[in-house]
Chain A
Amino acid sequence: MTKVLIVEDDVEAALTMQKGLGEQGFDSMVTHDGEAGLKALRDGEFDVVVLDRMMPGLDGVSMLEIARSEGIDVPVLFLSALGELEDRVYGLKAGADDYLVKPYALVELVARLEALLRRKENGAVETTLRVGDLEMNLITRVVKRGNSEIDLQPREFQLLEFLMRHVGQSVTRTMLLEKVWAYHFDPQTNVIDVHISRLRAKLDKGFDRPMLHTVRGEGYQLKP
């Protein structure tokens, strides 16, 4: 079971998160300040850390900097109410792997944690991605499903690559905007859905079994 360390000074928020993550199959431990978080991180084996930025005593950024200087390389996601661009850049520069702004949706948190965990596993450089009968050659940029080649626009290629790298996981619209389009704002329209439906048309057309699924209220999921 994936072990998550939650460092969050708001007791109720921490417990809600622990319950939510528990429902999603994560085993989490909660500490309420930076010192306790650092101690837990030194003593325990965690797969990923959810770290609040503003805490009494040792704040999240300082705690992370100490942990990183001690060679602790567990993936860390900042969860903070400080959401401006400069805040996020500051947090990521301090050594965090991802940044999520409060208020957050549980699905978004889970999707991001899964993405972090997955990246940790994939150390090797790949040239071909495979999901079921779907194959993507990252060098020749040829995409095939079964025997038929799928013709994709450059952005569709990036979109599919991201989905294939997170196969089986829910990815949210915000994640796609950030990772595929590099936009850090919410266009508040269904523009991502339109692009997904175009990709879906190319990917699943003529096949009995659809691969690209919409997860209601969450986002999308590529399944083998």
Chain B
Amino acid sequence: MFALPNLSRLSLKSNVFRQTPFRLTLMFITVYSFVAVLIFAYIYIASSAETKAVSDAQVKSRIDYLEEVYREQGEAAVLETLSEEDITEWFFVKIAYLDDGRILAQNRRATTEVSPPVFGHIRDKAKIAGGDGRPFQINYRLTDPAGKRKSYAYRGQVLTLKPGLYLYVGMDTSWSEKGFDMGFKALWGGGVLVIVLGLFAGMIINNEVSRSVQGLMQVFDQVKEGDLKARARLRNSGDEFDALAERVNETLDRMEKTMGNLKYAGDAIAHDLRTPLSRLRSKLEVSLYDVEKDPSQAPEVIERALAETDQLLRTFQTVFSISRLQAAGQAPDQKLFDASALAEDMCELFEALAEDKGLEFTAEIESGVNAYGNRDFLAQAMANLLDNAIKYTQTGGITLRLRHNSRREIEFSVTDTGQGVPEADRARITQRFVRLENSRSLPGVGLGLSMVEAVAVAHKGRLSIDEGPGVYEDQGPGLRTALVLPAVAG
């Protein structure tokens, strides 16, 4: 929907290291590598200890056997055993005078080795290891006649048969060294692969996420510039970004509506106050001539002007309240309150007004009805309904009812025996400043029912307007207005 400008794409790429998905990937790679190294180190330490223990035990038993042969049958028997025995697979056995390096005997495997450097090595190691009985390891590398280098690792023991004559038994552990070597290589290779692939995956994820975020940022930029129509594009992937985009769009819808309402309210106030203000102005202008002619009229003129100003201020206040309620979408400071008590209060306040006009006032109030809302706003709405009913009724009476209706909603209704409102006009009378023909002679500016409706909506309720009880003393059919609020749960 929106073409991304090249500039932001560029800045996106150049700052890839500062972007969250990529940083998360790096973090993941680091942690993953660290854990892999730890696991490998553990395996290495544990299995190398095991290898040592196994080979040490085998070397020990070999040495013990050869020592026994030596003690019982002498040097020649050992030499014979060695030359006869074919313990070529793993053992490497030598008998040597370490002082001059003269080898008396060795088994076949040992003969395959190139001896002088190895021999010196064994002697040095034996000295370092402190003589008999202690296993040690020798590693060495040789280059064979073909020029190929080979690595060897032997773990063995030296036994002093007699001063100057030593027996060495070693066991080839190159296989395990080679195994670990391969393991290390695999670890490094795997590690490099993981890092490279991880970085690559990080880039892809980063790109994907950034594209979604970029789209949202684009929308916010447009809104910042004043374009309230901008909306985030949904990819219908059903992921969090889609959910976020939906929320953003809903918020923008609401904002646009609110701004629209405020603008409408502003226009309405400007429009509707212009008429009374110009009336006031022209009245004052004309009054000035009167006062110039007869100064004694001044106080009366000013008093009239004051009364008009007060009316204007009241109108302004009401329009303002309606607009604020509509813009906010809900009434402020809502709490649970006793609606029955409020209805009783309203009776007490308005009964006098009705009786003063010679109207019969009846009240049917269900007791213990609790409602949730802003008591002041609801009181004002009820007052408006009662005031309207009394104002437009000449004979008969007013009935106030508070009850739970058949849908368990809370219903505050006022029924009068006045002229009523033709069905065609009923939708219209809740609009601001709408006054029907037969009411123009009566005081008021046409905001009462708009206010009631705004209050009802701000409480998730509604204003319903129906026909009254029928014709009464040539008047009729009357009107029934009701403020309906949602029932309180529990």
Chain A interface (Cβ within 8 Å of chain B)?
84-86, 103, 105, 153, 155, 181, 183-191, 194-195, 197-198, 216-217
- How big is the B interface, by class? 20 to 34
The stretch from B4-12, B34-42, B56-64, B310-318 touching chain A is: B310-318
Complex contacts, A195 vs chain B, CB 8 Å: 349, 352
CB of B387 within 8 A of CB of A183, answer no
CB of A191 within 8 A of CB of B353, answer yes
Q: List 8 A-B contacts (CB under 8 A).
A: A185-B377, A185-B380, A187-B380, A187-B383, A195-B349, A195-B352, A198-B352, A217-B306
3 residue pairs, one from A and one from B, having the closest CB atoms: A185-B380, A194-B352, A187-B383
CB of A185 within 8 A of CB of B383, answer yes
Complex contacts, A217 vs chain B, CB 8 Å: 303, 306-307
Determine whether B332 belongs to the interface, using a CB cutoff of 8 Å to chain A.
yes
CB of A181 within 8 A of CB of B353, answer no
- Roughly how many angstroms separate A190 CA and B384 CA in the complex, as a whole number? 12
Complex contacts, A197 vs chain B, CB 8 Å: 356
Q: What's the dominant secondary structure at chain B's contact region? A: helix
Among B313, B318, B333, B353, point to the contact of A189 (Cβ < 8 A): B353
Closest Cβ of chain A to B468, distance in Å, is 21
Complex contacts, A155 vs chain B, CB 8 Å: 348
CB of A181 within 8 A of CB of B387, answer no
Q: Which residue of A lies closest to B313 (CB)?
A: A103
CB of A189 within 8 A of CB of B303, answer no
Closest Cβ of chain B to A82, distance in Å, is 12
- Roughly how many angstroms separate A189 CA and B383 CA in the complex, as a whole number? 9
Query: In the complex, which of the residues B324, B380, B444 has the most CB atoms of chain A within 10 Å of its own CB atom?
Result: B380
Determine whether B345 belongs to the interface, using a CB cutoff of 8 Å to chain A.
yes
Using an 8 Å CB-CB cutoff, how does the interface string of B192-230 with A read, 1 for contact, 0 for none? 000000000000000000000000000000000000000
Determine whether B379 belongs to the interface, using a CB cutoff of 8 Å to chain A.
yes
Closest Cβ of chain A to B28, distance in Å, is 48
Complex contacts, A185 vs chain B, CB 8 Å: 376-377, 379-380, 383
CB of B333 within 8 A of CB of A194, answer no
Complex contacts, A184 vs chain B, CB 8 Å: 376
Q: Which residue of B lies closest to A84 (CB)?
A: B332
CB of A188 within 8 A of CB of B314, answer yes
Which residues of B in the span 285-334 have a Cβ within 8 Å of any Cβ on A?
Answer: 303, 306-307, 310, 313-314, 317-318, 324, 332-333
- Roughly how many angstroms separate A189 CA and B386 CA in the complex, as a whole number? 11
Determine whether B350 belongs to the interface, using a CB cutoff of 8 Å to chain A.
yes
- Roughly how many angstroms separate A197 CA and B306 CA in the complex, as a whole number? 24
Complex contacts, A188 vs chain B, CB 8 Å: 314, 318, 387, 444
- Roughly how many angstroms separate A197 CA and B332 CA in the complex, as a whole number? 35
Among B307, B317, B348, point to the contact of A186 (Cβ < 8 A): B317
Complex contacts, B384 vs chain A, CB 8 Å: 187
Q: Which residue of A lies closest to B354 (CB)?
A: A194
Q: Which residue of A lies closest to B351 (CB)?
A: A194
CB of A186 within 8 A of CB of B332, answer no
CB of B387 within 8 A of CB of A189, answer yes
Q: Which residue of A lies closest to B352 (CB)?
A: A194
Closest Cβ of chain A to B81, distance in Å, is 105
